[in-house]
């Protein structure tokens, strides 16, 4: 796995051996950087030896050493794509990760003030237009009475309002071509169900419910139908019977809109460690719902925490602690 002199009681050598640069970051150990040796070893030649060739040439194309640590595995958020639910959130999730993780910090923190104050810029532009056209007799916006008392801060806000005003005017000028482009893109997204809304019961859940009804109809003694699908566990009553979705223990990413409208939404990570326990009490079947609370991983940046709130409603709280069948 690693050289003998690197084998210590630490788990870091094991993590290094399991580090795949495209998924898991490399591990620094004793002044070096290590990852899975599969990328430069273990050529697949077994099938060739079965044919008993005269010669086999193996040419190593991957370097034995790199000057820099592979960067793709340092913060590879793409590996969490299976945690995005529902799947229709993936395009927004990609945009969110680009903005909060991949965008140049200089560009990101330069853009944030303009996005946060964009609505105020619209109000300022409307006020200027009303006063300049004579519709209102006030000169609050034209004389800069709102920002002047704030000194340097007011001057900075004035620059932001001016830049946003230019952007708004440009957007108004190109609004018709943009609308045509938007309608065309929307048709494509709708055709691939990217913009489809999620019904109360997803198509897969509906198929499972239909299978449960068929099972209940064919076997009257069956009281509970159990399946596992999606991140969210659920328990639904079908008459005197129950349909249980056990859910999954994978990390879940839930979209939370940013406090400021134009900033991308933030996807908060969480774990749902739950299970159903089926038993008997006084001749009746009982279904007890148990949940193990686990702290959410601290993956969000300071900016993400500042511009968003924690998810408020937990759909799993609607599952009763005990359900009695029969």
pLDDT digit string (tens) for the chain, length 326 residues: 444 444 444 677 777 777 765 556 777 777 777 777 665 555 666 667 777 888 888 777 666 666 666 555 446 777 788 788 777 788 889 899 999 988 888 889 888 888 888 888 888 888 888 888 888 888 887 777 878 887 888 888 888 888 888 888 887 788 888 788 878 887 877 776 655 544 444 556 778 888 888 888 898 888 899 887 666 788 888 888 899 988 776 788 888 999 888 899 999 888 777 889 999 888 889 999 987 777 777 888 889 999 988 877 665 567 888 999 87
Give the burial string for 145-167 (b: 16+ CB within 10 Å, else e).
Answer: ebbeeeeeeeeebbebbeebeee
pLDDT of residue 73: 43
Cα-based angle 236, 242, 247 (whole degrees, multiple of 5): 60
Half-sphere CA count of 261, side-chain side, radius 13 A: 4
Beta-bridged to residue 236, according to DSSP, are 243
- Please, how many CA atoms are within 13 Å of residue 98, restricted to the half-sphere of its CB? 7
pTM: 0.60
What sign does the dihedral 209-213-216-218 (CA atoms) show? negative
- β-pair type (224-227, 241-245): parallel
* Residue indicated by tokens 């949940």: 291
Q: What is the pLDDT of residue 287?
A: 92
Which two structure tokens, joined as six digits, stand for 222?
Answer: 């069956």
pLDDT given at position 288 = 92
Q: What whole-number distance in Å separates Cα of residue 263 and Cα of residue 169?
A: 20
> Which structure tokens are listed for 167?
């952007």
- 274/233 Cα distance (integer angstroms): 8
Please answer whether residues 252 and 231 qualify as being in contact, where contact means their C-beta atoms are separated by less than 8 angstroms. yes
């Amino acid at each position: 796995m690693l050289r003998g002199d690197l084998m210590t009681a630490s788990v870091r050598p094991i993590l290094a051996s399991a580090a795949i640069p495209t998924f898991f970051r490399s591990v620094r150990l004793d002044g070096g950087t290590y990852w899975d040796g599969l990328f430069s070893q273990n050529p697949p030649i077994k099938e060739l030896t079965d044919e008993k060739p005269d010669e086999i040439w193996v040419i190593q194309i991957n370097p034995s050493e790199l000057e820099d640590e592979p960067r793709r595995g340092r913060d590879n958020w793409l590996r969490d794509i299976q945690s995005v639910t529902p799947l229709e959130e993936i395009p927004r999730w990609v945009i969110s990760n680009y903005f909060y993780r991949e965008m140049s910090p200089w560009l990101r923190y330069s853009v944030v003030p303009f996005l946060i104050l964009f609505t105020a810029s619209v109000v300022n532009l409307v006020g200027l237009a009303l006063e300049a056209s004579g519709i209102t007799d006030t000169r609050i916006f034209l004389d800069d009475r709102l920002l002047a008392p704030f000194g340097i801060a007011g001057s900075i806000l004035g620059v932001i309002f001016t830049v946003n005003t230019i952007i708004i005017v440009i957007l108004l000028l190109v609004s018709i071509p943009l609308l045509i482009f938007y309608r065309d893109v929307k048709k494509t997204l709708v055709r691939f169900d990217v913009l489809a809304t999620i019904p109360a019961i997803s198509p897969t859940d509906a198929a499972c419910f239909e299978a449960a009804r068929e099972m209940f109809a064919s076997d009257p003694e069956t009281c509970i139908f159990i399946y596992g699908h999606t991140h969210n566990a659920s328990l639904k009553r079908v008459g005197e019977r129950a349909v249980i979705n056990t859910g999954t223990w994978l990390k879940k990413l839930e979209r939370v809109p940013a406090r400021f409208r134009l900033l991308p939404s933030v996807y908060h990570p969480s774990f749902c460690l739950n299970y159903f326990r089926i038993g008997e009490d006084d001749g009746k079947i009982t279904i007890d719902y148990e949940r193990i609370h686990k702290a959410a991983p601290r993956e969000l940046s300071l900016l993400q925490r500042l511009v968003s709130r924690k998810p408020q409603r937990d759909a799993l709280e609607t599952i009763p602690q005990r359900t009695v069948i029969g």
